[in-house]
Amino acid sequence: MTYFLYLWVMDIKFLKLLSEKFPSVASATTEIINLEAILNLPKGTEHFITDLHGEYEAFRHVLKNASGVIRQKVCELFADTLSEEELDDLCTLIYYPAEKLELVRRRGRNSEAWYRTTLHRLTEVCRSASSKYTRSKVQKTLPKDFSYIIQELLHESDDRGSNKEEYFNGIVHSIIEVGRADAFIIAMSNVIQRLTIDRLHIIGDIFDRGPGPHFIFDTLSQYNAYDIQWGNHDILWMGAAAGQDALIANVIRMCGRYDNLDVLEDGYGINLLPLARFAMECYENSPCDPYKPKVMQNSGVTERDLLLMTQMHKAISVIQFKLEGQLIAAHPEYGMANRALLERIDYTNGTITLSDVKGIDGDSTWPLKDGHFPTVDPAAPYTLTPAEERLVRTLHASFVDCEKLQKHVRQLYAKGNIYLTMNSNLMYHASIPMTEAGEFKTVVVEGASYEGKDLLDKIDRLTREAYFGGRGEASQERAKDYMWYLWCGKDSPFFDKAKMATLERYLIEDKSTWHEEKGFYYKHLEDQTMCEMILSSFGLDSATSHIISGHVPVKTCKGESPIKAGGKLLMIDGGFSKAYQSETGIAGYTLIYNSHGLQLVQHEPFESAALAVEESQDIISTRMVVESADRRIRVRDTTVGCELQTQIEDLRGLLEAYKSGTIKPHE
């Protein structure tokens, strides 16, 4: 069979399958008309967020207010008719309907007139939010209980003189009369929130530092149109959930360092009592000051709690250093021999010799703030004691058997990738390894060389094998180990630094030893040529496309801009994590991409949802236009539009097959 004959046969098979869904000329024609109409709608609004780091309350609020898009819609509709206070109240009601309704009741404002006015205003906002979507798409977002009623309100005008005015007002009156106004307001507010953002992009680092990553995942699970580009902290937890012991130790250490053990114990139900017992027994008389957690003000942590947390932190840190030393010895191809540090400690004199301190050629010796390692055998420093081995096995079982953690990690795999291209944007969390000249760096993985997009594709496959297997047990174990390299290896696109100076930060006073030299990618952030090369390699038009990433907090307070390389690169990590806000001066960036162009939103710190409800406080945000479209962007201009146009061509092919008699209609 010739190649072209083969293609013809395959086309006929495909069209026969398509005819099962569109069995007649009429049904195929109707679908073409429908798809052509969708192509002419304005593109939906995309919302880009990165580096959440467990800050659930701030994330939840930014999600609810859509980075100010809802307030913008409310102001467009009512700025000339409502006071600033009324605008604030309406916005807060949309963000937190149940809580705001309770406040309205407590203040005695829940009159029939208030309900009638509020329902009319919400209907106007919802009508505006739904205007760029088909009725079918809007219908899918509606709650079953109120779907019919909301559709009637949205698609019937209540202008003065309209024949349907009494009908409209009758619906509103009936909702109030039967006592369903509160439930309807909550439903309508949630619909507005969903319709305001068409797609949500999370560009990495949901985990670590903040107290609520598990709440973030639970919230995301209620959405359909979202995606995740994995960050280095996500990779850390993904590898731990797969059962990589060094990464399990890293996860616990990170939680201990940021006074965040409750995420493991309360959020995921992981039992840390065995670690606490081991730490109290082993480090009862050990100096542990370098391991004191970073405790937030007014946290309520007692001195007794702090002592135990510090001991646990030291215990798991030492275990981590041992497990990492074993990995370095087992994988010389990682090129990390200089990071096997326990063997470089002089346990008698309490010093350590380093070979990779910036500005110093050769070895240099440094005093340790804590040289007491009761579980380390200087002759075999990476060997776990029997008690440590038992503890590691116990913690391993707790992670791999944790149902909620596994559910959230599967969510990361199902909705996530290392990168995504969509609507002329390339999204990845951190970097792509580069040479000093700004060219793609060749990286050897599993004995083969990769660079650029091919490197990221290979890493994506390996991360999936680490969790799901596929090529056998030995291959899966190697993939799990490589997950650790992705967390802290110098040629990892998630890390891209010369070293991770964990031990130095804990145990050496001199901060020059803490320096983690960034890869060459970060030295070329303003290089438009490099960014255009990257975009082209991913099949994007370098003249009209952008790279959107996070990972490195933009120090706004020092005058740094998130807009790099003439607008080709947008780094939108502005410090959602409270741990970074003193460094960045703000509380995060988000990015909005709608039919009018790209807008960067800079956020001030968020106090709390309670204040947002009680005082109608919103996050103070500053918007700046990054790129304005010459003409309104339509669905046909997007990635989804390309897919719809392909579907139209397929349907036209089916129509031709019907007309020629190649395929008979089923009617």
Rounded distance between C-alpha atoms, residue 366 and residue 504, angstroms:
10
Residues 360 and 460 in one domain: yes
642-660, pLDDT tens digit by residue? 999 999 988 888 888 888 8
Q: Decide if 553 is inside a domain.
A: no
Mean pLDDT lowest for which of 119-128, 482-491, 579-588, 628-637? 579-588
* 7 band by pLDDT with thresholds 50, 70 and 90: very low
* Boundary of a domain, candidates 150, 168, 196: 196
**pLDDT above 80: residue 580:** no
In this structure, is the dihedral angle defined by the CA atoms of residues 230, 234, 237 and 239, taken in order, positive or negative? positive
337-355, pLDDT tens digit by residue? 999 999 999 999 999 999 9
Residue 159: strand, helix, or coil: coil
Rounded distance between C-alpha atoms, residue 176 and residue 178, angstroms:
6
Residues 111 and 254 in one domain: no
Rounded distance between C-alpha atoms, residue 28 and residue 23, angstroms:
8
Q: Please, which residues bridge with residue 272 across strands? A: none
Q: Decide if 551 is inside a domain.
A: no
Rounded distance between C-alpha atoms, residue 63 and residue 365, angstroms:
50
Q: Which residues of 189-215 are buried (b: 16+ CB within 10 A; e: fewer)?
A: bbbbbbbbbbbbbbbbbbbbbbbbbbb
Q: Decide if 59 is inside a domain.
A: no
pLDDT over 70, % of the chain: 90
Residues 393 and 485 in one domain: yes
pLDDT of residue 132: 84
Residues 178 and 309 in one domain: no
Instruction: For residue 576, give the nearest of 46, 48, 54 by alpha carbon.
Output: 54
Higher pLDDT, 71 or 402: 402
pLDDT of residue 27: 92
Q: Which tokens hold the place of 13?
A: 């098979």
* 223 band by pLDDT with thresholds 50, 70 and 90: confident
**pLDDT above 60: residue 4:** no
pLDDT over 90, % of the chain: 56
Higher pLDDT, 149 or 606: 149
Q: What is the mean pLDDT of the chain?
A: 88
Instruction: For residue 141, give the nearest of 72, 91, 71, 192 by alpha carbon.
Output: 192
pTM: 0.90
Q: State mean pLDDT over 488-510.
A: 95
**pLDDT above 70: residue 5:** no
Residues 27 and 78 in one domain: no
Assign 3-class secondary structure to 423-455.
CCEEEECCCCCECCCCCECCEEECCEEECHHHH
Q: State mean pLDDT over 528-557.
A: 89
DSSP secondary structure letter of residue 380: B
Rounded distance between C-alpha atoms, residue 12 and residue 27, angstroms:
19
Residue 329: strand, helix, or coil: helix
Residue range(s) defining the domain that contains residue 314: 232-417+432-503
Q: State mean pLDDT over 248-277.
A: 95
Mean pLDDT lowest for which of 74-88, 485-499, 594-608? 594-608
pLDDT of residue 402: 97
Q: State mean pLDDT over 376-383.
A: 96
* 619 band by pLDDT with thresholds 50, 70 and 90: low
Residues 256 and 362 in one domain: yes
Out of 42-46, 51-55, 418-422, 547-551, give the one with best mean pLDDT. 418-422
Write the single-letter amino acid at 453.
K
Residue 42: strand, helix, or coil: strand
Instruction: For residue 410, give the nearest of 254, 550, 217, 265 by alpha carbon.
Output: 217
Q: Decide if 545 is inside a domain.
A: no
Q: Which residues of 464-491 are buried (b: 16+ CB within 10 A; e: fewer)?
A: ebbbeeeeeeeebebbbbbbbbbbbbbb
Q: Decide if 394 is inside a domain.
A: yes
**pLDDT above 70: residue 362:** yes
Q: Decide if 136 is inside a domain.
A: yes
Residues 32 and 130 in one domain: no
Q: Which tokens hold the place of 155?
A: 């698609």
Residues 29 and 112 in one domain: no
Q: Decide if 143 is inside a domain.
A: yes
* Boundary of a domain, candidates 147, 177, 196: 196
- Domain total of the chain: 3
Q: Decide if 325 is inside a domain.
A: yes
Q: Which tokens hold the place of 563?
A: 């807009």
pLDDT of residue 148: 85
* 1 band by pLDDT with thresholds 50, 70 and 90: very low
Residues 317 and 259 in one domain: yes
Phi first, then psi, for residue 160 (nearest 5°) are: -60, 135
Residues 305 and 449 in one domain: yes
* Boundary of a domain, candidates 503, 524, 550: 503
Instruction: Assess contact for 70 and 94: CB atoms under 8 A.
Output: yes
Q: State mean pLDDT over 18-23.
A: 90
Residues 292 and 441 in one domain: yes
Write the single-letter amino acid at 177.
E
Residue whose token pair is 């989804």: 640
Residues 189 and 251 in one domain: no
CB atoms within 10 A of CB 390: 13
Rounded distance between C-alpha atoms, residue 624 and residue 349, angstroms:
57
